[in-house]
Structures are given as C-alpha cells and as structure tokens.
Chain A
Amino acid sequence: MDYSQFLYMKEELSLIAVILIIFVVDLFLKPGKRQEAGQARFAIVLPIFLMTIHTLINIIPGTGNVQAFGGMYQYAPMQTIVKAVLNIGTIIVLLMSSQWLKRKDVSINRGEYSVLLLSTLLGMYFMISAGHFLMFFIGLETASIPMAALAAFDKYRYESAEAGAKYILTAMFSSALLLFGLSLIYGTCGTLYFDDLSHHINGSMLQIAAFVLFFAGMGFKLSLVPFHLWTADVYEGSPTPVTGYLSVVSKGSAAFVLMTILIKVFVPLIADWQEVLFWIIIVSITLANIFAVRQKNIKRLMAFSSISQAGYIMLAVITGSAIGMTSLVFYILVYTVANLAIFAIITVIEQNSGKVSINDYAGLYKTNPKLSFIMTLALFSLGGIPPFAGFFSKFFIFMAAFKAGFELLVFIAVVNTIISLYYYLLIVKAMYITPSDEPIPTFKSDCSTRVGLTICLVGIIGLGIASIVYQTIYQYGFGL
C-alpha cells in the first residue's frame, strides 16, 4: 500500500490532530478550586487557537485534482476553499460560545463541546472530499450524530433535550431515505464510485426514484421545504451557538456537496433535477418567508430566514455551472459572517438577560448601541442591501441563475427578498424605533465574542467591496 496517499488528506489529518489534542488536554483539566478561572480561559482559547493554526496551514489550495484510496477520496482545490470557509465559521462559533461555556452547568462539559463540534466538522470534510457514496454516507453520519448531542447540550433545559431528540429522529429518517436511494442506485448501476456512476445513469424510472430519495435525504439536511418541519423547533431549542453552527456550517457544507454530486453523478438527469429544484426553490423561499413574518421568537425567525436562505443557495445549485459554483461558495461565506454575527448577538443577549423575543429587543439601541449597530449591518447584509457583502452575493447568484436561463425563478426570488427585508426590518424597528419600558440592560460582552463580532463585521463590510475574495474562489470554480 502506498502510504503517501495519506498526504492528500492533510486537511482531515490535521483536524483529527486538533481533535485529539483537545481531547487529551481536556483529560488533564480537572475542575479544581484554585486555578479555575485560568483553566477555563485556557480550555476556551485552546480550541480556537488550534483551529486558527489548522485553518492557516491548510489555506493554500493544491494544484490539481487528485484521487486516493482507489477513488474513495477525491481532492479538488475548490474543496480547500470550502473547508476554509467552514473553518472560519467554526472559529466564529467557538468564539461566540465562550460566554455560554462559562455557565455553571455547561462548564464541566467544555471539552466535549469542542470535540463534538469538531467531529461534525470532520464528518463534513469527508463528505466534501468523498469520491464514493459510502464514504459520503459515513461523512454525513459523522456530521449529523454528534450534532444531536450538541443540540441537547443544555440537557437540563426541556427545549434543548427536545431539540436533540427531534434532530436525531429526523436525521435518522432522512439518512434512511438517502440510504434507500443509494441502494437503488447501486442496484441499477452496480457501482457507487462517482466517476463511474455518470456513465451508468440513464434516466430509468428506478434511477429517478433513487434520485428523489437521495434528494429528499439531502433536503432534510438543508431544511428545504417540504423537509423543513424540524428546523424551527430545533433552532429554538438548541443552545444558540449550536443553532448558529447548524444554520451556517452544516447547511453550507451540505449545499456544496449536493451541488458537486448533482454535477458529478446525476449529470445525465440534469433536466429532471433542475425541474425538481425549480419548484423546491419557489416553495422554500416563499413559504419560509411568509412563516418568518409571523414569528415572535428571534431564533424561530432566524430558523425560517435560514430556510429561505437555503432556497437562495439552491438558486446557485440549479445552474449546474462553474459560475454558479463560485457564487455558491461566495454566498456561503457571506452568509456565514452575517448569520453568525446575528447569532453571536442573540447569544450574548440571551446569556446576559435571558431574552429571546423580538419584542424584548425594543430599545436595544439606547442601551447597547454597538451591538444593535452590528446587528443592523448583519441584517442588512442578509437582506441584500448594498454596500454590505450580502448584496454582492445575492446579485451574483441571481446573475448566475439568470445566465442559466431561469429568469422567472430569479424574478420570484428577487420579489421574495422584499418579504425577507420586511421581517429583518421588524428587528431593526424594534431596536431603534419602538420605545420600551424595560429594555435589555447595558452590558459588556466578553472578549472572545467581541473578537468574533469584529471578524464578522470586517467580513460584512469588506467581502463585497474587495473583489479579490470572489476572484480567488472563481479561479478554482472550474476544478470540479
């Protein structure tokens, strides 16, 4: 056996190293009386520090497409970029969870939190780099099972336990569907290698059924309508940093993988899957937006917002083109910084005052001007308002879809941005305009949250104006 093949997996290997270090170090960090504060700080900073190093040493994409282990593992330079985007998201999530991790009942599980979080990330890595459906499936499961534990992390809170149960049930159900689809594919084609499959897929009824089952399984992960029913409850119940992670990193990786598989494997069925996606996009964006308008709890609102954002992401997937792929990755990056900024702010407010309803945000500007300012910019970015990055990412996605000939779809999506703008503005209105008798008191968020918010703010303002980010992604857009 050629052991040098392992070098192609350097990203996965370094992440495994990070996980192991954290795991081992955590064993020696016993909650003693004396150095508790110092140890707590160390336990929080260590994963962030290691992840930063991990991101930095793996940030430069390789030169060409490589296959290892007989095609089970496939590498393309674009994957490095996607993994870097996921890393950035994870780092921000780790930064924003620090305040929550200092809470008494959670603090003893600090180590598990990082390990579980990074395990899901590892699963996503394998999912992204898979060259075979079995590998893909293992990655998918590694990414979803620890997620259920994370959703139930506040185990003494009823909603959190419920969220964990709901997540694991839907995840298992969708995995079963997906697995059934895969077995049908194996039955008709006799192989599960991505490279071979595209020659065997010919559009027979069984294969279309297989595709539908596969897509339904992915639809659950991406929380597209009509597979979205778990989303709002899980988002509401999970600890807020986990919700942020779920809405951004988990969703982003699933969207990217879906697009690569659709292009690589199901390319003979392109007309069929475009038809399916066409309707899914319309329904996802429209229904989610309409439901979001009625929400009172900000986490539920963000849940529906993330469903509609997934619809926008699918707009890039439906193009099936390199420019669509570029727009997709750029969109995920921009969406990551904006959405995580919002979840970071929700987290600190929840930790400091326990309030999560939109009405409680009334008068926030008077007491916490900086937080509400960043929140406003992040909401504007999500709503696609220039000069913030969200405008650029939306525009590019629309451009890609328009170029692929989906004019009507773009029109519907664009009109929907107005509905989404409405409910984003409701939050802005609460913070700036609505007077309040008992606003959220003034507080100072902790250092690492502030670092996280700064990263997000730089991203929200800079990613669109500095075209270099998009162009870097574009360079590797064809490498599929």
Chain B
Amino acid sequence: MNLLSIFVLIPLLMMLGLWISRNLAQVRTVMVVGASALLISAITLTVCYLQARSAGATEEMLFRADIIWYAPLNIAYSVGVDGISVAMLLLSGIIVFTGTFASWRLKPLTKEYFLWFTLLSAGVFGFFISIDMFTMYLFYEVALIPMYLLIGVWGSGRKEYAAMKLTLMLMGASAILLCGILGIYFCSGATSMNILNIAHAHNIAVSQQLIWFPMTFVGFGVLGALFPFHTWSPDGHASAPTAVSMLHAGVLMKLGGYGCFRIAMFLMPQAANQLGWIFLILTTISVVYGALSACVQTDLKYINAYSSVSHCGLVLFAILMINQTATTGAILQMLSHGLMTALFFALIGMIYGRTHTRDTRELSGLMRIMPFLGVGYVIAGLANLGLPGFSGFIAEMTIFVGSFQHFDTFHRTITIIACTSIVITAVYILRLVGKILYGVCTNEHHLKLTDATWDERVAVIVLIVCVAGLGMAPLWISNMISNSVVPIVSNLTLMH
C-alpha cells in the first residue's frame, strides 16, 4: 500500500462511514476522525518527504506508485509527490480539518452535506497526488461537481443561480481542458499519460503546443479565476455555505494554478514562453481589477471573493514569470492565500450566522460584542494585506522580487502595475475593519449576540496558527518548494 493512496482511501472510508451512520453524533464522529486522520497523514507525509530529501533522494517525484488501470488506453493510476504537491496536500489537510469544524452546526441534511463535502475533498487530495493526466482530470472533475449541490442546497441568497453558473462555467472550462489533455497526449506520441514521461520526451511539436497550450491554460485558469473567466467566483463564494467557501477558495482554486503550472507550462514549455505574455496581461488585469472591485462591494463575502480573484491572479501572474523565485512565490501564495482566505470565510460565516446580514453598511462595532471573532478578523485582514510576520508578506515579497528579475520593460511595467494591488488591498481591508469592527454599534439586536463557540474557536485558532507560523518560519517550506520548482523551471527556461 502506497503512502499516498491513503489520501484517497480515507475520504472513501469516511463516505462509507457517513453512509451507515444513523444520527448526528455518529456523523460528527466520522468527520472528526476522518479529517484528523487526513491532517495527520498530511503532516506525516511532509515529515517523511523532508527526511527522504535530506537523506539524499534526488528523484523528481517521491513515493511513486504506478498501477496499470486501462492497459489498452495507456491509462495508469500513477501517484507521486514533490515539494509543491506536499505543500498543497498539507494545505488541503488543514482546510478540510478546519472546514469540518466550521460546519459543525450546519442544518438541515447534515449527513448528505458531509457526504458531498467528503467527495469534494477526495477529489482535491486525489488531484494533488496524481501524476497521470487521466487520473488528474478525473479527480479534478470529482472535486467540481459536489459544489453544485453544496451551494444549491445549503447555500444562501441567489443560490440556484450561483450554483448553476459556477458549475457550468467550471465544467465548460474542464471540457476545453479535456481537449487540451487529449491533444497533449496524442501529439506527444507517448505510451503513457504520465506527466513525467511526456515532459522528458519533449516530443510535442511547437505548432501543436500553440494550439493546446491556450486550451489547457484557460481550462485550468478558469478555476484559478483568470480574467475574464472569473465571474463564477464572486457569485459562487457569496452563496456557498461557510465551509464550502473555505474549501473552494482555500483549496479548489489552487487546483487551477497547480494545473496550469504542472500540465500546461511543464509539458508545453515553448508555447508557454511564446504565449505567456497574453496570459500575463490577463492575470495583471485579474490582480488589479479584483482588488479594485473589492473596494466597491458592500457584501462581506463579495469583498473576500474579489480579493481572492486578485490573489489567485497573482499566483498565475507569478508562474508565468518563469523563474525560480517568482514560481516559489506563487506556490507560497497558494498556501498563504488558501489559509487566510479560509480564515476569512470562516469568520464571515460565523459573523453572518449571528447577525444574519453580511452587508457592511449594517454592521458596526462588532469588536466589543464578539471580541474573539473581531480579533480573528483583524488578523486575517492584516495577513491579507501582506503585513510582515504573516504568510501574505512572504509570498508577495517573493513573487515581486522574482518578477522584477526580468530586465525587459514589459515585465517590469506589469510587475509595477501588479504591485499597486498591495496598496488597494490595504485600502479595502483597513476600511472594512474600521467600519464593521470599530465604531459604535448602531443595531441594538446585535448587542445581545454571543462570541464564538468552541468548535468555531478550534477552526479559527488552527488557521491563525498556520498563517502566523508560515509568516514567522517560512524557510523550511520555501526551501522544500523551491527545490522542487527547479526541474520544472529549468525545463521551461531551457526551451526558451
């Protein structure tokens, strides 16, 4: 039994457990045990990975396993991890764990909710461990479809519209992606769908790359909120229940960035170099436009959703810079954004659960009424705007340092334009914190509200510890990522 397959096996067992559980207590037990097991496995994997590397393992991917699945079609269940996937698995483990606590009191149909939630997490984990394009695509779609029911049934506001829009846009993107994957596979002439084999063979003709690269990049990019395909994100996030927003913004959007990097760019380096500039412009628009849109929103979730568009845009922006520093920054940004956006959505969900409004115009003076949530919100905000000491700073710093290493005018100009997002982020975050947390509470109904319960505290504290931990001691993880980025980036720069 391969160590990595545990990450798919645990969610499957959890689903089985949920299926047979009879009451709320059993459902909760299954979820807590399963989510903890996932988190522990992720931590164990990180430790094992670091040990294996320090013991001198030099392969690109560790813990490899290949099981032939569909022999006639060269489809295999292949798993393996490098530093990037380990970091993503750790992130997913944390988010699933905290997400479980954030949806502790969710009603009605708790069992069904957790069933779909677990299926979603199975897809996410499976995606990050796969190195075969077929299995990767399979898990990618497994992670997408539960969103429809999770938003449609348990969401709020315009949930039916949002759920349908999100599902159709993401599935549409994955349809384009499917063509891209088939194009890559057949043009490479490879005898397997294994990413490493295709990448090392370097067989795809440049003229073919120019067709399939945009399809693959856009296919994944839609999930990474690439402008102008980001419109599903604000509606989807705003309507989704708390834990689903957390998982979606925290992990699912990372699937997009990861896929762009791991499949589109890694396998088609020449096209990535030739067409990169188009997508760089689009991502720059994402970064700045997302931040500006966040400034004018009045719904807490919309603010955070646009902020996610901006930050996820930065991830794609950085990987398109094609150098080691910027790409390491991109992966760090995925981690950091995943954690702090999950924290944000968790807090917004908790505030909304009490006040029943997310409109910033109706909220004020909450710090006195619910100090724990207020402090958490301030911390999340500061991490979001990139205060040193939190993860956001490390990530954005690395990205912009890396981007500025390009000497030509084009790259430097768009780097400077993208940098303005930091300022804009500060504007909307500080204004928001000032508006809803400080000042005098004008709504007397809000005065009677209570502070966080124990399950909410668990979720918030775990996330804050992670955000701060990543900000205080980033080196171990940034080294791990940076070492794994080297082979991919060198593949890209060699082909320039």
Contact = CB atoms under 8 A, between A and B. Distances in A.
B256 interface: no
B182 interface: yes
Contact of B182 (A387, A391, A410, A428): A410
B175 A415 contact: yes
B167 A421 contact: yes
A391 B138 contact: yes
20 contacts: A385-B145, A386-B142, A387-B138, A395-B134, A398-B182, A399-B182, A402-B186, A414-B176, A415-B172, A417-B175, A421-B167, A422-B168, A425-B167, A428-B148, A428-B149, A429-B160, A432-B149, A432-B153, A433-B163, A471-B72
A477 to B, nearest CB: 8
From A396, A399, A402, A417, name the one whose CB has the most chain B CB atoms within 10 angstroms: A399
B94 to A, nearest CB: 25
Interface in B145-190: 145, 148-149, 152-153, 159-160, 163-164, 167-168, 171-172, 175-176, 178-179, 182-183, 186
B86 to A, nearest CB: 24
Contacts of B476: none
B407 interface: no
B70 to A, nearest CB: 5
B69 interface: yes
Interface string A347-360: 00000000000000
Given A414-B179, A418-B171, A429-B152, A326 B141 contact: no
Given A421-B168, A433-B153, A474 B145 contact: no
B73 interface: yes
Contacts of B71: 467, 471
Interface in A391-427: 391, 395-396, 398-399, 402-403, 407, 410-411, 414-415, 417-418, 421-422, 425
Contacts of A453: none
Given A386-B141, A402-B182, A411-B179, A471 B148 contact: no
B149 A467 contact: no
A467 B172 contact: no
Contacts of B171: 417-418, 421
Nearest to A402: B182
**Which A-B residue pairs are the 5 nearest by beta carbons?**
A414-B175, A386-B138, A402-B182, A474-B72, A433-B152
B175 A403 contact: no
A151 to B, nearest CB: 35
A399 B183 contact: no
Contacts of A433: 152-153, 159-160, 163
A51 interface: no
A407 B179 contact: yes
A353 B70 CA distance: 44
Is the contact region of chain B dominated by helix, strand, or loop, or is it mixed? Answer: helix
B142 A387 contact: yes
A418 B175 contact: yes
Nearest to B148: A425
Interface of B: 69-73, 134, 138-139, 141-142, 145, 148-149, 152-153, 159-160, 163-164, 167-168, 171-172, 175-176, 178-179, 182-183, 186
Contacts of B167: 421, 425
A273 interface: no
Nearest to A422: B168
Contacts of A385: 141, 145
Given A385-B145, A391-B141, A402-B182, A470 B70 contact: yes
A323 interface: yes
Contact of A407 (B159, B164, B183): B183
A211 interface: no
A293 B160 CA distance: 17
B145 to A, nearest CB: 5
Given A398-B178, A407-B183, A411-B179, A471 B70 contact: yes
Contacts of A399: 73, 182
Contacts of A471: 70-72
Contacts of B159: 433
A258 to B, nearest CB: 23
A109 B148 CA distance: 44
Interface string A416-458: 0110011001001100110000000000000000000000000
A402 B193 CA distance: 15
A331 interface: no
A94 to B, nearest CB: 29
A387 B144 CA distance: 12
A386 B135 CA distance: 10
B371 to A, nearest CB: 37
A233 B167 CA distance: 31
Contacts of B178: 395, 398, 414
Contact of B70 (A387, A402, A467): A467
A410 B171 CA distance: 15
Contacts of A391: 138, 141
Contacts of B186: 402-403
Contacts of B176: 414-415
Contacts of B152: 429, 432-433
A235 interface: no
Contacts of B182: 398-399, 402, 407, 410
A403 B73 CA distance: 11
Contacts of A396: 70, 73
A323 B153 contact: no
A381 B238 CA distance: 29
A380 interface: yes
B72 A323 contact: yes
Contacts of A411: 179
From B141, B142, B160, B179, name the one whose CB has the most chain A CB atoms within 10 angstroms: B179
A417 B179 CA distance: 13
Contacts of B145: 380, 385
B211 to A, nearest CB: 9
Contacts of B70: 396, 467, 470-471
A326 B72 CA distance: 10
Contacts of B141: 385-386, 391
B66 to A, nearest CB: 14
A470 B134 CA distance: 16
A394 to B, nearest CB: 9
A418 B172 CA distance: 6
A396 B159 CA distance: 34
Contacts of B164: 422, 425, 429
A403 B72 CA distance: 13
A381 to B, nearest CB: 11
A417 B175 CA distance: 8
B148 A467 contact: no
Nearest to A400: B73
Interface in A299-338: 323, 326
B23 to A, nearest CB: 16
A396 B71 CA distance: 12
